[in-house]
Amino acid sequence: MLLPLWEGVRRSVRFDPSPQPPPARGGGESFPAAALSARLIDGRAIANTMRQALAARVAALPFRPGLAVVLVGDDPASAVYVRSKDRAAEMAGIAVTTLRLPGTTTEAALLAEVARLNEDPGIDGILVQLPLPRGIRQEAVIDLIDPAKDVDGFHPLNAGLLAAGRPSLIPCTPLGVMKLLEAAEVALSGRRALVLGRSHIVGRPLVALLLAAHATVTVAHSRTRDLAAECRRAEVLVAATGRAEMVRADWLAPGATVIDVGINRLADGRLVGDVAFAECAAVAGAITPVPGGVGPMTIACLLENTVTAAMRRRGG
């Protein structure tokens, strides 16, 4: 069953009529140029539809949800992500407070800021951008965030509730992956899903969400033997390894759905995912691009979590 929201976004799943033929690979093997050509799952369009619906919900509220975004240090990628989150939240009608703290900030000072935001009645959601500079323990910061304001879903209480099958605030990237699969009408019940990567931010929560959707879930990681063979068994593959273009066309079952969580900057400046897109698009049944796939969904889900947290805290 599709949620009503998805009625509007199904149109966003584009069909690409002119896929690249699969190239021959290193060992000389090639893939049947069998006319398997992937549907492109357009995360940007799906996220935009979500954001419009959220903006309408926010406009109808008797209050403005408040989101605090905390950036410590000057990591350029984090600065870009934080700017995108700020802008999207403002556009949705959320009141954003951005704290930019120097890289020399101590753990004690950051904890004091988080404690202050926990007590601030105008703040419904707190996001501390990761990674944090060396010397600040990530766990200490996450553990201090009020679970009711934990719009990242990283607090152990929220992680535990999700693992226990009682989700509250769900991490944004895995939630975005599930919404993409739903919008693209990818069947999950009884299907073999493979999660490539076991991070606390993406891989582990995704396992819980896919299980809740009745998929048969395998999690593979850097110590998995014969990764390619594991991948080839998957009907739905989610790559979240952080390794540029690691998943190759000969790792895929023809027709598989491929969701690429990776965002990797190559030496030549190009942004690529964890999946070698051009060759995999010729084998997969459906695939997300990078950029324009999971990334925009992460931001849309952050906005949704902020509105959810605000309505729970303030009643609505």
Please give the residue ranges that form the binding site for ligand GUN (CB under 6 A). Answer: 127-130, 152, 172-173, 201, 298
Nearest residue to ligand GUN by CB is: 130
- Which member of 85, 146, 250, 260 is catalytic? 85
Distance of CA 305 to the CA centre of its chain: 13
8 Å CB contact between 197 and 240: yes
8 Å CB contact between 163 and 179: no
Q: Is 179 a catalytic residue?
A: no
- Which member of 152, 250, 260, 274 is catalytic? 152
CB under 8 Å to 302, separation ≥6 — which residues? 67, 85, 88, 89, 125, 127, 151, 152, 172
Q: Is 149 a catalytic residue?
A: no
Q: What gap in Å lies between CA 4 and CA 259, rounded to an integer?
A: 23
Helices 43-59 and 294-314 meet at what angle, rounded to 10?
Answer: 20
Quote the tokens at residue 31. 């893939």
Instruction: Between 19 and 176, name the residue whose CB sits nearer to ligand GUN.
Output: 176
Instruction: Between 141 and 213, name the residue whose CB sits nearer to ligand GUN.
Output: 141
> Taking the complex as a whole, how short is the minimal distance between the CB of residue 287 and ligand GUN, in angstroms?
22
Choose among 163, 155, 190: nearest CA to 309: 155
Helices 76-91 and 294-314 meet at what angle, rounded to 10?
Answer: 60
> Taking the complex as a whole, how short is the minimal distance between the CB of residue 249 and ligand GUN, in angstroms?
27
Burial of 189 (0-12, 13-18, 19+ CB in 10 A): exposed
> Taking the complex as a whole, how short is the minimal distance between the CB of residue 17 and ligand GUN, in angstroms?
34
> Taking the complex as a whole, how short is the minimal distance between the CB of residue 276 and ligand GUN, in angstroms?
22
Q: Is 20 a catalytic residue?
A: no
Instruction: Between 152 and 304, name the residue whose CB sits nearer to ligand GUN.
Output: 152
DSSP assigned state of 54: H
- Which member of 129, 250, 260, 274 is catalytic? 129
> Taking the complex as a whole, how short is the minimal distance between the CB of residue 25 and ligand GUN, in angstroms?
31
Catalytic residues: 85, 129, 152
